[in-house]
C-alpha cells in the first residue's frame, strides 16, 4: 500500500469573491482526488481544499472550510478567486495584504483568477513580473499597476511561486494546472475528461476582441482612430494617416504610439483581423475571399498575421467559433 502525500490549496474569500468559482474549484479537486495514483516511488498525492475568510473587520483571517479531516497545515497554494463586479479596491484588499505577503515569504505560492489579479497586485509581489488577467481589465490594470508586466494574450502564466489566470472561467484551467502540478498529467487529463473541459493549453487571445484605447486625451489621434474604424483599417499609408490626423508623419508616429500603445501599422492589422474574425464566425466566405475583403491581397500573408494576433489559423478559428 502506498503512502499518501496531501497538498493543500486554499481559496481566499475576500469581499466580492465569485462563489461559483470557489464551489467549482472545490468540486474540481474532489473529482481529481478520485484519480490519485502512486508515483515512481510509491507515493500518491491528493489535494486538500480549504476556504479562508475574515469573518468581521479586525478579526484574523481563518480557515472556514476544510475538505479533509485531520490536522491541517498551511496551504501550498493560496488562490484569489475572480469577482463578477468591479475589481477589488485597495481599501477592500488592505486587510489581506500582509497576510498574503507572509504566506509567500514562508514559501507558499500565490495564484489569482481574472480580477483576483488586482488583489494579488496590491501586495507588491508582482513588480516586474509577467502576469495576466481578463482582457477587459487591461487598461484599468495597467493604470493601477504600471510596473507589472501584463500579457492579456495568455490564459495562464505559471511563474513558479506566482500563478495568474485570465478570464472568469479560467478557474477550470488554473484548477487543472494545479492538479497537474501536484498529482501529475494522468489525473489532470482524467479530471478534464470528467468535467468536459479542455486541458490547459488554450490562450486568452482566442476569445478576446480588439478593444482600442480611446481615453488617452489626444484629440488628433482620436480623430484618426475614428476614421480608421470607419474605413476598417484598410488605409495604412503613413502620409494619408498623417493628413487625416492633421499632423506631421513623425509627430503622428510618436503620438499614436504613446496614446494607443502600438504603431499605426499594428493598429490597422488589429482592426483588419478583428473584421476577419467576424466574417469567419458569421459568413461562409472562403479564407481567400475574406483576406481580400479586409485588405490583404496575399492570403498567405493574411494567415501569418492572423496566427500571430489570434494564436489560431483562420480555419482553426472558424472551426472553433463559427456559427454558420
What does the pLDDT read at residue 324? 58
- Rounded to 5°, the CA angle 265-267-273 comes to 100
Whether 79 and 38 have beta carbons less than 8 Å apart is answered as no
What does the pLDDT read at residue 40? 45
Residues 6+ apart with CB under 8 A from 88: 14, 15, 16, 115, 118, 119
CA distance 309 to 242: 25
Grid cell listed for 81: 478567486
CA distance 52 to 188: 25
pTM over cut 0.85: no
Pick the CATH number of 219-321 from 1.10.10.60, 1.10.10.10, 1.10.150.120, 3.40.50.970: 1.10.10.60
What does the pLDDT read at residue 33? 93
Domain 3-206: give its CATH code.
Answer: 3.40.50.880
Burial 78-92 (b: 16+ CB within 10 A, else e): bbbbbbeeebbeeeb
Q: What are the structural domain ranges in the chain?
A: 3-206, 219-321
Of 107, 82, 102, 93, nearest in space to 8 by CA: 107
Whether 14 and 88 have beta carbons less than 8 Å apart is answered as yes
CA distance 264 to 139: 19
pLDDT along the chain (324 residues), means of 10: 76 95 95 78 77 91 89 89 92 95 91 97 94 92 95 86 89 92 85 83 69 82 88 90 95 93 92 90 91 94 92 89 71
What does the DSSP assignment read for 32-73? HGGG----TTSEEEEEEEEEEE--STTSPPEEEEESS-S---
CA 69 to chain centre: 34
Angle separating helix axes 171-183 and 19-32, nearest 10 degrees: 30
Grid cell listed for 163: 500563478
Whether 270 and 262 have beta carbons less than 8 Å apart is answered as yes
**Comparing 3-206 with 219-321, is the CATH topology the same?**
no
First-to-final CA distance of the chain: 54
What does the pLDDT read at residue 44? 67
What does the pLDDT read at residue 39? 54
What does the pLDDT read at residue 80? 97
Amino acid at each position: 500500500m502506498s503512502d499518501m502525500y496531501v497538498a493543500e490549496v486554499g481559496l481566499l474569500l475576500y469581499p466580492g469573491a465569485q462563489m461559483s468559482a470557489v464551489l467549482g474549484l472545490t468540486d474540481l479537486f474532489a473529482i481529481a482526488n478520485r484519480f490519485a495514483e502512486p508515483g515512481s516511488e510509491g507515493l500518491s498525492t491528493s489535494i486538500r481544499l480549504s476556504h479562508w475568510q475574515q469573518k468581521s473587520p479586525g478579526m484574523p483571517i481563518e480557515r472556514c472550510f476544510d475538505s479533509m479531516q485531520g490536522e491541517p497545515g498551511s496551504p501550498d497554494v493560496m488562490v484569489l478567486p475572480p469577482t463578477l463586479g468591479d475589481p477589488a479596491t485597495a481599501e477592500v484588499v488592505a486587510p489581506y495584504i500582509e497576510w498574503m505577503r507572509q504566506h509567500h515569504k514562508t514559501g507558499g505560492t500565490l495564484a489569482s483568477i481574472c480580477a483576483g489579479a488586482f488583489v494579488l497586485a496590491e501586495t507588491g509581489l508582482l513588480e516586474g513580473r509577467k502576469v495576466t488577467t481578463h482582457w477587459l481589465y487591461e487598461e484599468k490594470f495597467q493604470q493601477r499597476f504600471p510596473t507589472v508586466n501584463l500579457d492579456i494574450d495568455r490564459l495562464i502564466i505559471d511563474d513558479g511561486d506566482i500563478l495568474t489566470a485570465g478570464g472568469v472561467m479560467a478557474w477550470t484551467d488554473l484548477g487543472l494546472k494545479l492538479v497537474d502540478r501536484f498529482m501529475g498529467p494522468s489525473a489532470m487529463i482524467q479530471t478534464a475528461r470528467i468535467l468536459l473541459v479542455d486541458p490547459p493549453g488554450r490562450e486568452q487571445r482566442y476569445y478576446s476582441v480588439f478593444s482600442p484605447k480611446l481615453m488617452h486625451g489626444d484629440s488628433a489621434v482620436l480623430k484618426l482612430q475614428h476614421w480608421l474604424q470607419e474605413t476598417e483599417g484598410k488605409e495604412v499609408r503613413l502620409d494619408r494617416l498623417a493628413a487625416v490626423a492633421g499632423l506631421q508623419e513623425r509627430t503622428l508616429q510618436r503620438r499614436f504610439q504613446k496614446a494607443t500603445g502600438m504603431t499605426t501599422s499594428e493598429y490597422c492589422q488589429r482592426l483588419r483581423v478583428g473584421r476577419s474574425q467576424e466574417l469567419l464566425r458569421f459568413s461562409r466566405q472562403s479564407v481567400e475571399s475574406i483576406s481580400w475583403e479586409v485588405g490583404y491581397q496575399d492570403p498567405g500573408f493574411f494567415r501569418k498575421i492572423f496566427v500571430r494576433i489570434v494564436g489560431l489559423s483562420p480555419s482553426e478559428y472558424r472551426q472553433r467559433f463559427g456559427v454558420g
